[in-house]
């Protein structure tokens, strides 16, 4: 069945079964491999995208459930004000180690900054708790979110 969804501002069509995970559609149908597969069970956060600005695990989100939502992925989050600030801070502080988890980390951090321009440590911990990093970049991630927040005088 053909499903029409909006990805990064563009209308896209995927001819797949309705229970196909959004992550599969992004990667295998649309060739957008920036969003990563980790656990496939909503446990690691590697597959995080935004659905109408809300961070969501694309590995457990079926294509038939996103028909009316705007999907934003790591390929375009830098076009948003919050995403731009987060990506700059990530580069400034050299957050990334192996990189595998980082698309998901950036998507969660960008959604946090967009909804809460000046998050507390508790806000950061709460927003990022579902994103696992096997390389242990958590300290740099928190510092980068704080740096991005300092440059955030308005809602992202």
Question: In whole angstroms, what is the distance from residue 156 CA to residue 118 CA?
Answer: 11
Question: In whole angstroms, what is the distance from residue 137 CA to residue 139 CA?
Answer: 6
Nearer to ligand FES, 84 or 97 (CB): 97
In the complex, the residues that contact ligand FES under the rule CB under 6 A are: 37-40, 42-47, 57, 59, 96-102, 133-135, 137
* DSSP-assigned beta bridge partners for residue 56: 49
Nearer to ligand FES, 114 or 133 (CB): 133
State the nearest-atom distance from the C-beta of 3 to ligand FES, in Å: 20
Please, what is the end-to-end C-alpha distance for the chain in angstroms?
Answer: 36
Find tokens 């300290």 and name the residue: 139
Nearer to ligand FES, 66 or 117 (CB): 66
State the nearest-atom distance from the C-beta of 99 to ligand FES, in Å: 5
């Amino acid at each position: 069945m053909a499903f029409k969804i909006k990805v990064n501002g563009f209308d896209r069509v995927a001819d797949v079964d309705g229970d196909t995970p959004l992550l599969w559609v992004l990667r295998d149908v649309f060739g957008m491999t920036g969003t990563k597969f980790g656990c496939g069970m909503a446990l690691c956060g590697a597959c995080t995208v935004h659905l109408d600005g809300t961070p969501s695990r694309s590995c457990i989100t079926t294509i038939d459930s996103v028909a009316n939502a705007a999907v934003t992925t790591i390929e375009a989050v830098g076009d948003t004000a919050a995403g731009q600030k987060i990506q700059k801070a990530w580069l400034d502080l050299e957050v990334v180690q192996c990189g595998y988890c980082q698309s998901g980390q950036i998507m969660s951090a960008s959604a946090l900054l967009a909804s809460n321009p000046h998050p507390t440590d508790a806000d950061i911990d709460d927003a990022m708790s579902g994103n696992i990093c096997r390389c242990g970049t958590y300290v740099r991630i928190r510092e980068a979110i704080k740096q991005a927040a300092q440059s955030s005088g308005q809602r992202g």
